[in-house]
Amino acid sequence: MVLDKVKEEYIGSVMVIGAGVAGIQASLDLADLGFRVYLVEKSLSVGGRMSQLDKTFPTNDCSLCILAPKMIEVNRHENIELLTYHEVLQVDVDLGNYIVQLLKKARYVDEEKCRGCGDCSKACPTVIPNDFDMGIGKRKAIDIPFPQAVPLVYQIDSNYCIKLTKGKCGICHKVCETGAINYDQKDEIIELKVGAIIVATGFELFDINKIPSFGYHYDNVITALEYERLMSASGPTGGHIVRLSDHKEPEKIAFISCVGSRSVTKGVPYCSNVCCMYIAKECIITKEHAPDIDCYVFKSDVRAFGKGFNEFVERAKSDYDVKYIDGRIGKIEEDPINKDLILYYEDLEDQVNKKIRVQMVVLAVALIPSEGSRKLAEILDINIDNYGFYNSLSEINPLETEKKGIYICGYGEGPKDIPDSVAQGSAAAAKCAEFLSSVKGTLIKKKILSVKEKEISLTDPPRIGIIVCKCGTNIGGIVDVYEVVDYIRKIPGVIVAESNLYSCSDSTRSHIKEMIEDHDLNRFIVASCTPRTHDALFRQTCQEAGLNQYLFELVNIRDQCSWVHMDVPELATEKAKKLIEMTIAKSKLLRPIKTIKTKIKSGCIIIGGGITGLTAALSVAEQGFQCYIIEENSDLGGNLNELNSIYPSFKSPDSFLERLKEKVMKHNNIRVFLNHSLFDVSGSVGNFNIKIKSKNDHKITTIQCATIIVAVGAKEFKPKGYYNYGNDERIITQLELESLLKDSGSTVLNQDYLIQAKNIAMIQCVGAREKNGRSYCSKVCCLSAIKNAIVIKDRYLEKNIYIFYRDIVLPGKDTEELYRKAREKGVTFIKYEVENPPEIKAEQDHILIELGRENKLSLKAGLIVLSTPLIPTDDYERLSQILKVPVSKDLGGFFLEAHVKLRPLDFATDGIYICGSARFPSNIEDSISQALGAASRAGIILSKDSLTIEGIISEVNHDLCIGCGTCKDICPYNAIEMIPVKRKTGEINVSLYQSQIIEQLCKGCGKCVSACPVQAIQAKHFTNTQILEMIKTCTTK
């Protein structure tokens, strides 16, 4: 329903609908960009589906361990108002000034009074199915969804509560000390005014009961999401893998892919994009939990197209003996006596019908847009497509709807994995920042710490508090946490030591603050998981409690104990004790450190002028910031200049690209440097000094900027040494085919071969997915081959096209339709195995292709097109050294992001961002989304007047410094300068040079510390004294 319009100016606030990982990322970026954010979530907690997962592929990080810090951050951010258990009722359509009505559903618990203690739930006598555990586990009628829920506020289920249904019981009201229980609470309608809207709703499972042949009605046939809850340490079985019928460990488990997906008759016609990977992950974790369980995967195509994905699947096969079967399930029957399952299937490799008996079946069920998506689309007056996803404008406008100011991201836009959802969340934030740039910063609040920092004297005795996290069974299943706590609480200086189920929960953060206050602590230690995701969170917690953040230490007993020593729990426990004891020794010597603020420069450098770089530049410029495009070629556009058509429109990209170039060249905030390359970079986030070099006259130009975006793209692999490429003009690559199709007068390639060939063969995975070479799937090759095959068939109806493939890999919601269209047009698909690829023999008038040893297939082709992967450009290593950012040599040599899941567009080096195929092969839609996301990340820095510099930096003792300059020469960040000083020796004044740290540039890496010949330099927080004390403790029995 549409409300009456109210004509006003644009409003500097945004409503984000959906608090899964995409909505959380969009909200955090927007708030940091300078907008007030209302994050609306219909369920009780933020986190979405990711919070239900056990681990995440391909790193097997605990899902909630890496998500919880973002959940907590979105709850404590001063410019985000969290509206959980709310639903959108009405929205007007007035541009830049939307009036929204929300339904605030009754919790029957006062959110302001509830402190999340759980006394009410413990006392409640009513046990009901737990929706968070997919109905497998149980919970109380008053409860929270899961231990790390944010906000940590309880809710009464009105369908089950005895008081609300029968007027009896009421025990929760009696035990609640804060008086938070309110049985009379009613639903409310609240009204908001916002300038833009982001729709970030997620997914749910297809109703598998519609396909009874998969046997979901049997006890031991479950969905993959239900299996995630079984594997989870916080799940109904505590992470123990058992059958639901008898709670016994199964001997064999069958995992079935594509259940209800990729089917026009049974289920949905698209691929869900994530199933192949989470099947591999679930198999690996199963084998780690119970090595004797045999895992069988029934698959059609294995779609492992992300960074590290194909390697992950291969590891499942080689290291964990997961058995992949190219088989189509006919039906599943249950043995009524022992509840085993008998699977009847067609073995597609042997073309024989077979059966197998297993004790458990896990179904990878199709993922569909979440319930309510259609209704929400009607409220917002935006379109949805045939599959129920929100409809974007085009492949070049993947986040925009037909309503300006309303943007879409995450799974609601189309099937995608976590990093793509995160990238799109940031991208949607960038679009809002562009749209509302004129009202940026008008509604924000500044964060003020309510507790003054404690004054701690060097003579104050250490008072250390410690929490040891179980992390469910991730740590607690291996390390005896209680034994560790008993051991460390006896160490002098430790005032209080406790164990904890999940230290990253909001309730634990509150408890840490209480511990610091109640016990007058002046040091704090958390022993849990990796500091990469949690150190900043706990440092902030200490700061909010009035404790200097550098008096906190985090001990990683997950990665360094429970994960690496899972087969020897006793030794893992002893190691955990020793690591914490060493940290206690260091903690006693910690000193408060003051951070410093530095003014930042304006502007952003974009390295690369392809579609990714151009999109990023325009977004940064539209946000109101100056940016500079550095392109080493003489023209903008990159690989897009070479393409004949783009999918799904099949239109030429030329007109779009020319319009984009024109916008860039005419924009007042953009300056373009063609035929230039990066020469040198110094400085740090907020204060980079960039030198670029002209290829024409070798002139050096210096630019000062605050941020850098790397968008250098990738290039097509030229497969010399494969299939006689380079020696026969009839053998070309897909990009060369694009050139033939685009330019009938091409002089580089012979157009006659395309015109005259009756049979054209395409061979996939040439130089990709290799055991000893490029091990990755390039993601775009299958789509390019099928698209070009259709273009050829449309242009030359009489031609026969054959595609030799290992797996057809087609990310995206519309690509399966393209696959079907190709088959309907007569394109023939022929599968081959990696052990037995096609072989070719060049003849004068044709090329003979042969496949198979027995029943050999032979084909005469006039043209062979090789689908080869995108590979890093020749400049990656040089750029890596100049920018001091890493490349992932084990994953194709592409640039390495800070975190593959939750920081896919950030480098570990602050202020430098990555997008497009520089990160990993990406199609046009993903490249645009990532470019916008990187622009959002860069915009956060550019929106600030100053930055707080990390306090862990080096410092020079000038009484010891001899001015040798060794530290200056070795510093990778140019953070040391030599300054003239005068010393008085007796009656003589001596002039000399000594080292001085440039605090704004120092990254605290410690290289200078180890290089100084007289030990005149120390790294704050990692002094020699502190480290030596840790070593002494380690070596003392």
Other CB atoms within 10 A of residue 988 CB: 7
What does the pLDDT average to over 559-564?
Answer: 90
Detail the DSSP E strand segments found in 234-383.
Answer: 252-259, 294-299, 323-334, 341-347, 352-358, 360-365, 367-369
DSSP 130: -
Detail the DSSP E strand segments found in 814-919.
Answer: 828-831, 839-842, 847-851, 857-861, 863-866, 870-871, 887-888, 894-895, 912-914
Place 223 in a pLDDT band, splitting at 50, 70 and 90.
Answer: very high
What does the pLDDT average to over 121-125?
Answer: 96
The answer for residues whose C-beta is within 8 angstroms of residue 667's C-beta and 6 or more apart is 617, 618, 621
849: which 2 tokens? 């292709």
C-alpha to C-alpha distance for 831 and 825, rounded to whole angstroms: 18
Other CB atoms within 10 A of residue 772 CB: 5
Indicate the range of 27-31, 120-124, 234-238, 332-336 predicted with least confidence.
234-238
Q: Is the peptide bond before 58 cis (omega within 30 degrees of 0)?
A: yes
pLDDT in tens, 242-283: 999 999 999 999 999 999 999 999 999 999 999 999 999 999
Backbone angles phi, psi at 672, to 5 degrees: -110, 130
User: Which residues, in sequence order, are bridge partners of residue 599?
Assistant: 946
The pLDDT of residue 751 is above 90:
no
Other CB atoms within 10 A of residue 943 CB: 19
- Residue 461 contacts residue 555 (beta carbons within 8 Å): no
What amino acid is encoded at 970 in this protein?
I
Tokens 């960009």 belong to residue: 33
DSSP 780: S
pLDDT in tens, 783-830: 999 999 999 999 999 999 999 999 999 998 999 999 999 999 999 999
- Best CA proximity match to 830, nearest among 844, 853, 845, 851: 851
Query: What torsion do the CA atoms of 624, 625, 630, 633 make, to the nearest 10 degrees?
Result: 10
C-alpha to C-alpha distance for 866 and 291, rounded to whole angstroms: 41
The answer for residues whose C-beta is within 8 angstroms of residue 688's C-beta and 6 or more apart is 601, 605, 681, 682, 704, 705, 706, 707, 708, 911
pLDDT in tens, 637-651: 999 999 999 988 899
pLDDT at position 855 is 75
- Best CA proximity match to 540, nearest among 530, 549, 551, 531: 549
- Residue 632 contacts residue 676 (beta carbons within 8 Å): yes
Place 705 in a pLDDT band, splitting at 50, 70 and 90.
Answer: very high
48: which 2 tokens? 């979405």
Query: What torsion do the CA atoms of 400, 406, 410, 415 make, to the nearest 10 degrees?
Result: -50
Place 474 in a pLDDT band, splitting at 50, 70 and 90.
Answer: confident
What does the pLDDT average to over 57-69?
Answer: 90
What amino acid is encoded at 228 in this protein?
E
What does the pLDDT average to over 580-601?
Answer: 93
User: Which residues, in sequence order, are bridge partners of residue 61?
Assistant: 56
Q: Is the peptide bond before 151 cis (omega within 30 degrees of 0)?
A: yes
* Model confidence, pTM: 0.90
pLDDT in tens, 653-663: 999 999 999 99
C-alpha to C-alpha distance for 553 and 580, rounded to whole angstroms: 10
What does the pLDDT average to over 595-610?
Answer: 93
pLDDT at position 989 is 78
- Residue 250 contacts residue 243 (beta carbons within 8 Å): yes
Compute the 3-state secondary structure of the chain and give helix, strand, coil in percent, each to the nearest 5.
Answer: 30, 25, 45
The pLDDT of residue 745 is above 70:
no
Domains and CATH numbers, the chain: 1-105+187-202+370-444 (3.50.50.60), 106-185 (no CATH), 208-366 (3.50.50.60), 464-591 (3.40.50), 604-710+884-947 (3.50.50.60), 716-871 (3.50.50.60), 953-1019 (3.30.70.20)
- What's the mean per-residue pLDDT of the chain? 93
pLDDT at position 567 is 86
DSSP-derived pairing of the beta strands 367-369 and 203-205: antiparallel
- Residue 935 contacts residue 425 (beta carbons within 8 Å): no
Percentage of residues of the chain with pLDDT beyond 70: 99
